Amino acid sequence: MHILITRPEGKGAALAQQLQQAGYQATMSAVLELNNLTPSGSELAPLQNADKVIFISQDAVHALHRLHPEINKAAQFYAVGQQTADAIYDTFGIRAAVPKQHDSEGLLALKSLQDIAQNTIVIVKGLGGRTTLAKELKQRGAFLNKVVVYERLPTSDDPAKRIDHWQRIAVSGIVITSNAAVDAIFRGISATQSAWLIQSQFYVASERIAAYLQQQHVAPANIHIAAGASDSAMFACIKQQGHDMSGQSEVKSNPATTAANKQNKPINAAPLDSTKHKKPISKTGSLALLISVLVAAAMGYQFYHKLQGEQQTVINMSELQTRNQSLQQQLEVVKEAQQTLQQALYNSEQKVAAAISENAAQTEQQLQFALQRAEQQVYRLNPQEVTSLQRMAEFKLWAEKDYQGAIAVLTRLDSLLSEHAGTAAIRQAIHQDLQTLKTVQLVPIEALYLQIHGVSKQVDELIFNAVSLPEEVADENLNALSDDLSEWQQNLIKSWQQFKDDFIKIRSREEFVIAPLLSEQERHLITQRLNLYLAQAQDALLSEQASVYYTAIDAAKKTVDEYFKHDDAITKGVLKSLAELSQEQLNFAPEINLKSTEQVQEWAQ
């Protein structure tokens, strides 16, 4: 047999080697390629508190390890198959539980996955598939999270040319380990190619893939289910099917059986085409055929010995005719017996076929009824899971003031509710809350703190106000006596003024407001007070006290304005910075009321 292995690149080499050593012809032809995905931080977050982590495949293990996420070390790990469990141990150093049946049904049958109410379970998987596992775990009360870390994409080669190549190399068996591989094989091919393809033998990893293959019109007799997707399981399945085919060919090629069938073939009877009808032969029919063969053999044996006796003795023509008539009558009796047995066998087969048809119809009807009930059954949403997520969002908002964390939790809650009907009101409220949280302007505490720090570094460079004494009035001889006799009164006043100047000297200046001068100690104290105001504003930012912040900034601004030169560049820069700092809107605790809280409470009641 020529076995084709369709697993992605880097896989299936060991299986091909095993098949070649066993005498098979093996060819590797990948129909899928893996593409790693990068989940968001919120999607990876449940791994930190997970109680159980389920890995669907080896690819899921390697793709998750590439992301280096934080995983709860106390979590219990599960693997679909042994190879996945080995990959978990090699990668994370943890022993994973493996079911006897390597599929979703086998996982669900494990005892440790029965009582899982309130457990946080994370399924690490590829894109698509495994819906049965997720639904069942939810129905058992688990808080389910999915982490999609890779996807399977069809290769870029032409499917039609690929099928033509398989036909040329006479492929007779195909190994398939996923539904995605089935889609990749059957897509884009002609009806003629599909007719050739469905005649091949298919070796699949699970009943789920077998059922999916039957949707492509592959006969169940051509589908062989292995004990899992491992190389050893696939090799055992192919080898077992090869032995079965060899046994069937030996039975068909046995000459004694062929001769017996030819000798006992009824005259004028329609041959039974077992390949066409594919109906099982009952025990009654087998017994009838055996009796017919024995009777025919006995009569033939008796006829042979009579002929031998006639050759040894001389008999007359009358006796010969009498014996011939007797033998003819006996042959007629045998023929009637054969026809009777054949009719009984045919009737028996008809009854068996009718019973099988009736059972198949009943089974189909029961399956349809069960499917309809499953479709009509509405999965009940777990109220505890919804309220838990809502409370977590409130904790992120009010206790931690982590608005991005609250947005992530509400987004996860909306994703959970989207899978269930009757939650439109809650989802509308959630989207209103998300919009409100996205518009919240956070206080730039760090930026303001650094800006105040920059101002404090310029305090020592500020220039104090200094008093500049004006120039004295020019000393003009205003008291000079006039020679004019008519100005004797003015001369008398000037004489009196000159007389006073000899005792008291009074000088006048142009400015009359004189500011007090500051000592070095006073200047040092003013500088220290300004630094204290700025440090107080920084502490108020860190402790989120808006009133203290504004008071300290205003006091610092007033100090600079009162004691330092306004026309200096540094003073102007400090005053401008303090003015900008005083205009900042410090809303450390914005009033946000989650509308979804009320909706969730009403829904839970």
Per-residue pLDDT band for 504 (boundaries 50, 70, 90) equals low
Q: Is the dihedral of CA 286, 289, 293, 294 positive or negative?
A: positive
Nearest-10 crossing angle of helices 445-456, 520-542:
170
pLDDT tens, residue by residue, 295-353:
666 666 666 666 565 555 544 566 677 777 778 777 777 776 776 776 667 667 667 77
Q: What does the pLDDT average to over 169-189?
A: 90
pLDDT tens, residue by residue, 544-589:
888 899 999 999 999 998 889 888 899 989 999 999 988 888 877 7
Q: Is the dihedral of CA 352, 354, 357, 361 positive or negative?
A: negative
Token pair recorded at residue 119: 């457990």
Out of 3.40.50.10090, 3.20.20.30, 1.20.1090.10, 1.10.1380.10, select the CATH number for domain 33-153.
Answer: 3.40.50.10090
| Cα 96 from Cα 64, distance rounded (Å) | 15
8-state DSSP, 209? H
Q: Check: CB of residue 52 under 8 Å from CB of residue 78.
A: yes
8-state DSSP, 485? G
Q: Check: CB of residue 27 under 8 Å from CB of residue 52.
A: no
- Element holding 203 (H helix, E strand): strand 201-204
pLDDT tens, residue by residue, 360-389:
777 877 777 766 655 544 456 678 888 888
Nearest-10 crossing angle of helices 13-21, 231-253:
30
pLDDT tens, residue by residue, 480-489:
777 777 777 7
Question: What burial class does residue 512 get, using C-beta atoms within 10 Å of its C-beta: 0-12 exposed, 13-18 middle, 19+ buried?
Answer: exposed
pLDDT for 4 beyond 60: yes
Check residue 390 and give its pLDDT.
85
Amino acid at position 36, single letter: N
pLDDT for 54 beyond 80: yes
Residue 233's nearest CA partner among 361, 120, 80 is 80
Amino acid at position 333, single letter: V
8-state DSSP, 141? T
Check residue 262 and give its pLDDT.
42
Check residue 417 and give its pLDDT.
84
Check residue 233 and give its pLDDT.
85
pLDDT for 53 beyond 70: yes
Facing residues of 150 across strands? 36, 126
Q: Check: CB of residue 38 under 8 Å from CB of residue 32.
A: no
Q: Is the dihedral of CA 275, 277, 282, 286 positive or negative?
A: negative
pLDDT for 591 beyond 90: no
Check residue 418 and give its pLDDT.
81
| Cα 527 from Cα 457, distance rounded (Å) | 11
- Could you give the 3-state DSSP secondary structure of residue 116? coil
| Cα 162 from Cα 29, distance rounded (Å) | 9
- Could you give the 3-state DSSP secondary structure of residue 154? strand
Amino acid at position 6, single letter: T
Token pair recorded at residue 81: 């198959």
Cβ-count burial 67-101 (b if 16+ within 10 Å, e if not): eebebbeebbbbbbbbbbbbbbeeebeeebbbbeb
Check residue 304 and give its pLDDT.
62
Same topology between domain 2-31+156-251 and domain 33-153 = yes
Q: Which residue has the higher pLDDT, 504 or 406?
A: 406
Q: Which residue has the higher pLDDT, 542 or 302?
A: 542
pLDDT tens, residue by residue, 443-469:
788 888 999 999 899 888 888 886 554
Q: What does the pLDDT average to over 266-280?
A: 39
pLDDT tens, residue by residue, 381-397:
678 888 888 888 888 88
Residue 481's nearest CA partner among 498, 459, 464, 461 is 498
Q: What does the pLDDT average to over 434-442?
A: 81
- Could you give the 3-state DSSP secondary structure of residue 82? helix
Q: What does the pLDDT average to over 84-90?
A: 92
Per-residue pLDDT band for 147 (boundaries 50, 70, 90) equals very high
Average per-residue pLDDT in the chain? Answer: 80
Residue 388's nearest CA partner among 591, 604, 592 is 604
% of the chain residues with pLDDT over 70: 78
Q: What does the pLDDT average to over 247-269?
A: 44
What CATH code is assigned to 2-31+156-251? 3.40.50.10090
Token pair recorded at residue 122: 């994370």
Check residue 442 and give its pLDDT.
76
Q: How far is CA 581 from CA 27, 36, 528, 541, 576, in A?
A: 74, 48, 20, 11, 9
Amino acid at position 7, single letter: R
Q: For residue 478, which phi and psi values (nearest 5 degrees)?
A: -80, -15
Match 């591989």 to its residue by tokens. 181
Q: According to DSSP H, which parts of 313-423 are helical?
A: 317-376, 383-394, 403-417
Match 């102007």 to its residue by tokens. 572
| Cα 34 from Cα 59, distance rounded (Å) | 8
pLDDT tens, residue by residue, 184-236:
899 888 999 999 999 999 999 888 889 999 999 999 999 999 887 888 888 98
Q: What does the pLDDT average to over 421-448?
A: 83
What's the full length of the chain, in residues?
605
Check residue 513 and give its pLDDT.
46
Per-residue pLDDT band for 255 (boundaries 50, 70, 90) equals very low
| Cα 523 from Cα 564, distance rounded (Å) | 10
Q: How far is CA 310 from CA 299, 307, 318, in A?
A: 16, 5, 13
Question: What residue ranges do the domains of the chain occupy?
Answer: 2-31+156-251, 33-153, 254-264+277-376, 383-440, 445-469+479-582
pLDDT for 246 beyond 90: no
Per-residue pLDDT band for 516 (boundaries 50, 70, 90) equals low
